[in-house]
Amino acid sequence: MIISVASGKGGTGKTLVTTNLAASIGDVDLVDCDVEEPNSYLFFPDREEEASFDCTVIIPQINEDKCTRCGKCSEFCAYNALAVFPQSVLLFKELCHGCGGCALVCPEGAISEGTRPIGKIFRARSGDVRLLWGELNVGEPMATPLIRSVKAEAKGDLVLIDSPPGTACPVIETVRGSDFCLLVTEPTPFGLYDLSIAVQVVREMDIPCGVVVNRSGVGDQGVQKYCKKENIPLLLEIPMKREIAELYSRGVLFSGKMTEWQERFADLLARIEEEIR
């Protein structure tokens, strides 16, 4: 079973929920797909790192001896990643999606394929929580190939995925294939508005979803009313408590200190399982 934890708005508590849920239920793969800013591993300071390796993408390699500068490759490239000059061909590697089209259209067979790293994948373990995360190199615009690779590393029966914020391509790549999507929000107008966009996205992808309200008690009742109207299960409310915020700020799992929460997170998993059935 794959459960992804997403939110439209950033900073609503995705990582808080994912890490505490993982630690409370155990025997789980915790996959951090927020590869632009991965944080979940920071909450497992006792982790033992097991492996790290580069995530690479395919790029074209041009054999300048065979190349006649005909320009067919740059004409074909949908991403403007190739520029053909009278003397040479220039590749803007960050723009390349690795589709392989340039090699297919080259009439001289002058293009072969190589690879280049765009980020790193890390594997670690903390007790019976298996941690996986990706880290995108600074300056790289495209997170999706790294997200795809990190997800492919998760092999367990129960996989929890921490998603990036927003609703654009990195989020879609992250939640694609999930059995359930947990949407974390806060009870404010920003939280509600971004939640409503996220709900439209997961509904369009046919993924069942439920809501966790974080910092419950501040703000207004808009999110609760919205969930009722849209018939979306509100699965857990985490109250606004200075203690939780302070523990989080220090990188401490609050369910480890406020142990009654371990049961609440275990119940959350049970509710999700019911919803899927």
Partner 1 sequence: MKQLVVISGKGGTGKTTMTASLATLAGRAAVVADCDVDAPDLHLLLNPKIRETHDFFGLKIAAIDPERCTECGECERACRFGAIHNFKVDSRGCEGCRVCTIVCPSEAVSMVERVSGHAFVSETRFGTMVHAELFPGEEASGKLVTMVRELAVKVAEREKKEMVLIDGSPGIGCPVIASITGTDVALVMTEPSISGAHDLARILEVAEYFGVEALVCVNKYDLNPEMTGEIDRLCRELNVDVIGKLPFDPAVVEAMISEKTLVEVEGPVGEAVRSVWDRIRTKL
Q: Is 170 in the site for partner 1 (CB under 8 A)?
A: yes
Q: Is 164 in the site for partner 1 (CB under 8 A)?
A: yes
Piece of 20-28, 46-54, 136-144, 225-233 that binds partner 1 (CB under 8 A)? 136-144
Task: Please state, as a whole number, how many other Cβ atoms lie within 10 Å of the Cβ of residue 275.
Answer: 15
Strands 111-126 and 28-32: unpaired
Q: How far is CA 2 from the centre of its chain?
A: 13
Binders in 72-91 for partner 1, by CB under 8 A: 76, 78-79
Q: How far is Cα 224 from Cα 235, in angstroms, rounded to an integer?
A: 11
Q: Is 93 in the site for partner 1 (CB under 8 A)?
A: no
Q: How far is Cα 150 from Cα 267, in angstroms, rounded to an integer?
A: 28
* Total chain residues near partner 1 (CB under 8 A): 61
**C-alpha distances in Å from residue 87, one per residue of 60, 70, 100, 233:** 18, 11, 23, 62
Exactly one of 205, 234, 258, 266 binds partner 1 (CB under 8 A); which one? 205
Piece of 122-130, 171-179, 253-261, 266-274 that binds partner 1 (CB under 8 A)? 171-179
Q: Is 176 in the site for partner 1 (CB under 8 A)?
A: yes
Query: For residue 8, what are the contacts with CB-CB under 8 A and spacing of at least 6?
Result: 165, 166, 167, 183, 185, 193, 194, 195, 196, 197, 198
Piece of 120-128, 131-139, 149-157, 263-271 that binds partner 1 (CB under 8 A)? 131-139
Q: Is 100 in the site for partner 1 (CB under 8 A)?
A: yes
* Burial (CB count <10 Å: 0-12, 13-18, 19+), residue 148: middle
Query: For residue 260, what are the contacts with CB-CB under 8 A and spacing of at least 6?
Result: none
Q: Is 172 in the site for partner 1 (CB under 8 A)?
A: yes
Please identify, using beta-carbon distances, which residue of 194 and 269 lies nearer to partner 1. 194
**The two three-digit tokens of residue 153, written as one number:** 């590393």
Binding site for partner 1 (CB under 8 A): 8-12, 15, 34, 36-37, 39, 42-43, 58, 76, 78-79, 97-101, 104-105, 136, 138-143, 164-172, 176, 186, 188-190, 193-194, 197, 200-201, 204-205, 218-220, 242, 245-246, 248-251
